A = this chain, B = another copy of it.
């Protein structure tokens, strides 16, 4: 005989019941009973408690399986809102969403992250107040704040840790800037935040790589639906993986090494190579726009960047054997040429078993995944607080 497989126990704590309904695993008291194995009485009294706290709504009828059709439960996404802050190297974008991460209002503009934490965070707070006003919401409606930043973060304190492209931000207590709202403030690396955004409200139990191709290149690593961080929290830092060049080409990276992935294939390298090729561009965005309009040389530059990123991903596919890879970030807006370059390298070099059912796609909304992810992270922060209250 082979080993006895015992199913993992599914929690029936009030906070867990809320999560089951919110993520779509159950939508009635009967389904919660079936999912958790808890008694009908236990489930009912806990569901009543959650309804009393305005976190669950009851109403409507589901499909009958013979008897009386069950009354449907749903998460009350309208029970409050969260602020989602997406800080980039050159932009700040803020959204207010409901507790289901549905965007209610959004605002943003270019900045320079090097202006430092005081100026940039004051601007984020100002934008937060503006989107609340636009959505007709008050400070008291805010349940949590989520912030994505373009650098490593000590997750437990919300402080950046020696971020290479955020001068002046090391160890800055980002949550304190949002003291206007006395709620949980959760801060994480922008790539991890984007990974949450790509998993969506329902989450996932898959192993996924979310590759951000923006000014730099990074990767959110999702193991069984959860963000994997590694020993120092730097997991997914693929931008400085060495990519040897068969033709002896040597490109200096801002880190001091040569032929790092992001020195060869990133927003910054695309702009450099487009300028060197004499294309009429002044920004990475111009290169992406040219490619989107079918300009031959721009298309080939984007596709070649995809091929280079694909050589690194081929190795990671063998090692990590993910269910899928999602490409996001500014350059992902180039869409198919980037994707086909990546696919070309991955399918040429990854092991057939790992590549067979692998799904490589571009994000549906690369410009939004940072804000949706920050909103979902904020909601999780709020629900952790709920858990501490309800058990």
Interface residues, chain A, with chain B CB atoms under 8 Å away:
1-6, 9, 11, 144, 152, 156-158, 162, 175, 182-187, 206-207, 219, 221, 223, 228-238, 240-242, 244-246, 248, 255, 257, 311-312, 314-316, 318-323, 349, 351, 353-354, 356-358, 380-381, 384-385, 387-388
B4 touches A388 (CB 8 A): yes
CB-based nearest B residue for A209: B319
Chain B residues positioned under 8 Å from A322 (CB to CB): 230-231
B385 touches A4 (CB 8 A): yes
CB-based nearest B residue for A183: B1
Point out the residue from B144, B232, B257, B320 that lies within 8 Å of A357, measured CB to CB: B232
CB-based nearest B residue for A385: B4
A230 touches B4 (CB 8 A): no
B353 touches A319 (CB 8 A): no
B240 touches A351 (CB 8 A): yes
A2 touches B230 (CB 8 A): no
B321 touches A233 (CB 8 A): yes
| A206 vs B231: C-alpha distance when bound (angstroms) | 8
CB-based nearest B residue for A13: B9
| A356 vs B234: C-alpha distance when bound (angstroms) | 11
Chain B residues positioned under 8 Å from A158 (CB to CB): 2
Q: Return A188 CB to nearest CB of chain B, in Å.
A: 10
Chain B residues positioned under 8 Å from A387 (CB to CB): 4, 6
A242 touches B349 (CB 8 A): yes
Contacts A3-B380, A235-B321, A255-B351 given; 9 further ones with Cβ under 8 A? A2-B158, A2-B175, A6-B384, A6-B388, A207-B231, A230-B322, A232-B357, A235-B319, A319-B319
In the complex, 7 of the A-B residue pairs with CB atoms within 8 angstroms, ordered by the A residue number, are A1-B183, A3-B380, A232-B354, A238-B315, A240-B351, A241-B315, A242-B311
A240 touches B318 (CB 8 A): yes
A318 in contact with B238 given A223-B223, A244-B246, A257-B349 (CB within 8 Å): yes
B351 touches A237 (CB 8 A): yes
B384 touches A237 (CB 8 A): no
Interface majority SS on A: helix, strand, loop or mixed? Answer: loop
- How many identical subunits does the complex contain? 2
A353 touches B234 (CB 8 A): yes
A319 in contact with B238 given A2-B184, A3-B186, A184-B4 (CB within 8 Å): yes
A2 touches B321 (CB 8 A): no
A351 touches B1 (CB 8 A): no
Chain B residues positioned under 8 Å from A236 (CB to CB): 319
Chain B residues positioned under 8 Å from A358 (CB to CB): 231
| A106 vs B176: C-alpha distance when bound (angstroms) | 61
A231 in contact with B357 given A184-B1, A385-B4 (CB within 8 Å): yes
CB-based nearest B residue for A175: B2
B2 touches A353 (CB 8 A): no
Q: Return A381 CB to nearest CB of chain B, in Å.
A: 4
Chain B residues positioned under 8 Å from A2 (CB to CB): 156-158, 175, 184-187
Chain B residues positioned under 8 Å from A156 (CB to CB): 2, 5
Q: Return A366 CB to nearest CB of chain B, in Å.
A: 21
Task: Please list the 8 inter-chain residue pairs (A to B) with the smallest Cβ-Cβ separation, ordered nearest first.
Answer: A230-B321, A3-B381, A244-B244, A235-B321, A231-B323, A241-B315, A3-B184, A3-B186
